Amino acid sequence: MVTEQYGPESGFYARKEVFWRLLDQDPLMDNPDREDVRHLRRQIYERLQSPPPDSPSVGIVGSGPAGLAAAHDLALLGIKSFVYERETLAGGMLAVGIPEYRLPRQIIQAEIDVIRSLGAEFITGIEIGKDITISQLLERHAAVIVAIGAKLSRPLRVPGGDAAGIYGGIDFLRAIALGQATGLGKKILVIGGGNVAYDAARTALRKAVPAEPAGLVRIEKDVTRLARRMGERGAEVHLACLESLTEMPADLVEITEGEEEGVLRHNGIGPAEVLKDSAGRVRAVRFLRVTSLWDENRRFSPKFDPNDVTEIECDTVLVCIGQAVNWNLFDGVPGLSKDSRGNIPADLETGKTAHEKIFIAGDAAYGPKLAIHAVASGKKIARSVAASLGVSVPQPAGRQCGHTVVENYYRETGFERLWRSPPPVHEVSERLRSVRSPVERTYSLADAQRQAHRCLSCNVNTVFDSSLCILCGGCVDVCPEDCLKIVPLSKLLPTEELNRLARETGDSAENTSAIIKDEDRCIRCALCAERCPAKAITMESFHFQEKVA
Amino acid sequence: MNAQEPPVRPDAVNDPGDAAGLRVSGLQAFLGNLKNLGVIAKNAFVRHGWPIRSERDRSRAVFQNFFLHIHSTRTHRWSLRPSFTLGLGVMAFGSFLVLSVTGIFLMIYYQAGIPEAYQTVKDLSFVSSSGKYVRNIHRWAAHFMVFAVFAHMTRVFYTSSYRAPREFNWLIGVGLLVLTLGLSFTGYLLPWDQLAFWAITIGSNIAASPREITDALGMTGVFDIGGLQRELLLGGSEVGQGALTRFYLLHVILLPAAAFALLGVHFWRIRKDGGLSRPPDAAFAGDPGVTGKPAFVPSKTYGLMALVRGKTPAVDRGPEGTVASLPHAFRAELAAFMLMLAIVCGLSFFWDAPLKELANPRVPENPAKAPWYFLGLQELVSYSAFAGGMLIPGIVVVGLALIPFLDREQGVSGTWLARGSEKKIFWGSLVFGLASVIGVVAFTVKFGWLRSWYPGIPQLVITVVNPGTLIMLLYTGFSLLILQRTGSTRKGAVALFTCFLSGFLVLTVVGVYFRGPNWNFYLSPAQWPIH
């Protein structure tokens, strides 16, 4: 089963196609020696068989991207792992955080199936500290990887912050993903300017209760927005954040798509008070205008104008102003202690904690980041755990890198003129149909090919030969992107490295010139290399090889 | 965005069969190539692609095109500001081109013989279609070129653009000035009319003027350098067929070839010496007249590419503030060229080039006047042929050539009279220069000179002490005084240059407007005696 999918071959993953080619298409087909292939296959198969049941196993708390990655890599290293998941479905934030319109559930499931097929066991619906204690886990497994993510919504600490109708954004998204009741009203206010805030706001748009009858529609100037908002779902979704539009941490695509869908954005205001109605439910939130976000040391420290008050009426508030790790589950575990900020410290590279059998991976180790960071962390920590169990882990054994001259390097005419086309998206009405309706479509083949021409070939570098350069300035002149510059060495900030290089050129700093280049602007058009009369500039391709042993 | 075309591979049309993944026969390939002949030929002709739409296209177009590549691909915005250069260099070169083209047209008819020369020029003026207009353009473009070259030199001087590393190019420029005057002088004889004949006679007498010295020393019989010079110039002792042949040769072959060669070096040196002269970036930072985005934002980070020994003019002339030469620099150049063309064509339309009677050695023109730019010289020659025709011009040319080598001060170049005190010196020198030359000329007109008072005085004394040398002495003394007072070679140079400029202006005006028959002073030609 394993060889059908992946197989580690001295640390590299050989795809099944490789084997098939070996078996079916190789000229060896007609060779009586090809019988050897059967033995090769058997060797790999037996090596990757599930480990014997009595061998040490690893418990992984949390089946999010970090936990999944750790389980995957541990399985490839021949270590049995058990993934404990609080929710009834695996996937962590991938499944109960990221909205379904962004990440279809079957993709998550396909990945989990692969990992399960590699031999990892998934135990869902089990909560540490409730259904099973951490001590039991430590007894059961040789090591425990804690990959519980940062799933606590930071609460809104303003007067009235305890009113009914105020939910954490993360909790809201989780409830939607699990199909639970959300208590969503008609006028929803999302507080926060990040991607989670947009996930919450856009999910709310898709989920909000239907509108009052069409006849009662208020007169509004923006007819299209009105049509979108009232016509589709009938709910108002406001989003308020401290930052200005350009400072918002959310991705631009989230902001623009949110705008298209009718998220009403309020920038530069901060919540000051929650106003309740007689029933104790939120009635409105009072905001103050932000006068500055950063103090003189560029530290986040918002200041408000107490006289500039905005009130936003709402019946539901989704708070998306940050996430925290719920460490309470691990209270009383011997050897583990929290630091001053309430976190359990762990080494980011190895995941090691004060407890020799407990490792921490993903958001729980370093705070909320992207899923891909959690995957990287999970893979790293899996190796660390395997090493601690005495399993031999392929280690990087030397790196080789260098440059190769690309003869006749040429970029096609017009590549620098191509604009970025954003990936196509569905119509707003299509998108808003349900939480499941996807937003983005795929590039057409022609579009994809055209976009691929925008590649700047940044593996190809302009390499300058000091001994040939005659400082004619031709490269600076011909550069269409203004990215090259020749300056006297004395104009550069002296560093040790620079001084060493300067000594090698064997002249005074005043009489030495430095060619400098802004790599961000370079489009690798090679005009400088073409121009150079001394052939001191070559276009060279960078290559890199890391050996694993 | 939808209008984007897919990028074109350079070899896309070379193998039409390839696209379909078909193997094509030789004949098919041939037919395919034939079908695409237009595209293939176009791509071979304009390698950078057409139309030009991006900065990369612009760089490639300028860099890969033979006719454009003498330009830098990028030009600083301030080099393009008309007020810094006034477009005079482009206009001077433009008029040279116009002269070359119209000169070739004139050569179709012209015959350098006596009397065919006069006849063919007369036919050109009165018989050949548009001949007169072409000759007028040639004449006016010649005037314009002399003016533009003088003005260009003045601009370069006052913006101190001769400073290191441009000293050598200044030298080339002085050479081009001499060539321009030489071209004009040699062209003057070719129509072979009275004007031509007598102007050249004066010129040849100037060439013979060292006899003033050799006569005084009594060595003319042994070593007659003046006579030799004249004979070399005229190909004989008188202005005749020999002179015409030599002048024709000089005018259409030797001098233009030399001018083209020096122009090539002149342009090439502009690039090698760091590009068009302009003020440094800092000098005009915040100038509200400057628009356009800065090429660099302060937050840029650079990677070190290489450390190279040595320093060149290209170092630290970064791309900041530059724009693509295509179209910006070319548009500016074209504008200057068109302005020149419009002026020349306009003048040619209204004022004809003169053509007097056939040259007659027995009937002297009175006054015989050289072209306007030589009349200052002629005024000096009237005092003393050797001092005015050879000594003073020689000293002036050598002095001009030496300016960048004697003023080694460094500082802002590219702006007019960069330091405030230079402006003060300029105005002071202008007043002094004008006052002294007008004073000396007025004195000479009113009271005469040494020979009027002591008729028996030896010529050598006149050669040494005459109004011309007196003016030069005054100018030199004044400039030395400024040099001494300010302790600045640049300011001394400004004083001297301004003095000579004012002297040149006044003497030219006197020669053009106030000199009549026998080189007597008249307030207006209406007062000339009837003869």
Q: pLDDT digit string (tens) for A411-459?
A: 888 888 888 888 899 988 888 888 888 899 999 999 999 999 999 888 9
Whether chain B has a CB inside 8 Å of the CB on A509: the answer is: no
How many residues comprise chain B? 531
How confident is the model over A512-518, as a mean pLDDT? 90
Tell me if B210 sits within 8 A of B156, measured CB to CB: no
Which residue is listed with tokens 């090439």? B268
How confident is the model over A44-55, as a mean pLDDT? 69
> What would the DSSP string read from start to end of A284-335?
EEEEEEEEEEE-TTS-EEEEEEEEEEEEEE-SEEEE-S-EE--GGGGTT-TT
How confident is the model over A325-350, as a mean pLDDT? 81
Point out the residue among A414, A481, A512 whose CB comes nearest to the CB of B309.
A512
Q: How far apart are CA A143 and CA A382, in angstroms?
A: 10
Return the minimum-mean-pLDDT range out of B44-48, B477-481, B523-527. Answer: B44-48
User: Could you tell me which chain A residue has the CA closest to the CA of B307?
Assistant: A514
Kindly determine whether residue A513 and residue B9, on different chains, have CB atoms separated by under 8 Å. Answer: no
How confident is the model over A49-66, as a mean pLDDT? 84
Mutate to test the interface with B, among A461, A467, A485 (most CBs of B within 10 A): A485
Residues with Cβ < 8 Å from A66, sequence gap 6 or more? Answer: A92, A147, A149, A361, A362, A363, A364, A374, A375, A377, A378, A381
Q: How far apart are CA B528 and CA B531, in angstroms?
A: 9
Instruction: Give pTM, 2 decimals.
Output: 0.73
B165 upstream amide cis, omega within 30 of 0? yes
Kindly determine whether residue A513 and residue B55, on different chains, have CB atoms separated by under 8 Å. Answer: no
What is the pLDDT confidence band of residue A225, given thresholds at 50, 70 and 90?
low
Which spans in B235-362 are helix H?
Answer: 241-249, 255-272, 325-350
* ipTM for the assembly: 0.73
- The pLDDT value given to residue A15: 43
Residue type, A394: P
Tell me if A83 sits within 8 A of A73, measured CB to CB: no
- The pLDDT value given to residue A284: 93
Whether chain B has a CB inside 8 Å of the CB on A227: the answer is: no
Greatest Cα pair distance in chain A: 90
Return the minimum-mean-pLDDT range out of A463-467, B154-158, B280-284, B346-350. Answer: B280-284
Q: How far apart are CA B316 and CA B501, in angstroms?
A: 35
Which residue is listed with tokens 């290489």? B306
Residues with Cβ < 8 Å from A74, sequence gap 6 or more? Answer: A58, A80, A81, A120, A382, A385, A386
Q: How far apart are CA A485 and CA B255, in angstroms?
A: 41
SS3 sequence of A442-475: CCCHHHHHHHHCCCCCCCEEEEECCCCCCCCCHH
- CA proximity to B175, closest of B249, B255, B271, B88: B255
Tell me if A536 sits within 8 A of A529, measured CB to CB: no
How confident is the model over B301-307, as a mean pLDDT? 82
**Rg value, chain A, Cα:** 29
Kindly determine whether residue A517 and residue B303, on different chains, have CB atoms separated by under 8 Å. Answer: yes
- The pLDDT value given to residue B281: 62
pLDDT beyond 50 at B47: yes
B258-268 tens-digit pLDDT = 999 999 999 99
- The pLDDT value given to residue A506: 73
Residue environment code for B76-95, b if the CB has 16+ CB neighbours within 10 A, otherwise e:
bbbbbbeebbbbbbbbbbbb
Please report, for residues B84, B437, B438, B439, B468, the alpha-carbon distance to residue B442 in angstroms, rounded to integers and kept in the order given.
37, 8, 6, 5, 13
- The pLDDT value given to residue B331: 93
- The pLDDT value given to residue B17: 41
How remote is the C-alpha of A255 from its chain's centroid? 18
What is the pLDDT confidence band of residue B297, given thresholds at 50, 70 and 90?
very low
What value does the mean pLDDT of chain A take? 84
Other C-beta atoms within 10 Å of B359: how many? 25
Q: How far apart are CA A335 and CA A346, in angstroms?
A: 13
pLDDT beyond 80 at B441: yes
What value does the mean pLDDT of chain B take? 86
pLDDT beyond 50 at B165: yes
- Supply the angle between the helices B255-272 and B167-189 in degrees, to the nearest 10: 160
B62-113 tens-digit pLDDT = 888 888 888 888 888 888 888 888 999 999 999 999 999 999 999 999 999 9
A117 CA to chain B: closest CA distance, Å?
42
Kindly determine whether residue B1 and residue A480, on different chains, have CB atoms separated by under 8 Å. Answer: no
- The pLDDT value given to residue B4: 47
What is the pLDDT confidence band of residue B299, given thresholds at 50, 70 and 90?
very low
Burial level of B234, CB count in 10 A (0-12/13-18/19+)? buried
What is the pLDDT confidence band of residue B23, given thresholds at 50, 70 and 90?
low
pLDDT beyond 80 at B8: no
What is the pLDDT confidence band of residue A53, given thresholds at 50, 70 and 90?
low
Point out the residue among B6, B309, B317 whose CB comes nearest to the CB of A506.
B309
What is the pLDDT confidence band of residue A499, given thresholds at 50, 70 and 90?
confident
pLDDT beyond 60 at A402: yes
How confident is the model over B19-46, as a mean pLDDT? 82
Q: How far apart are CA A346 and CA A362, in angstroms?
A: 11
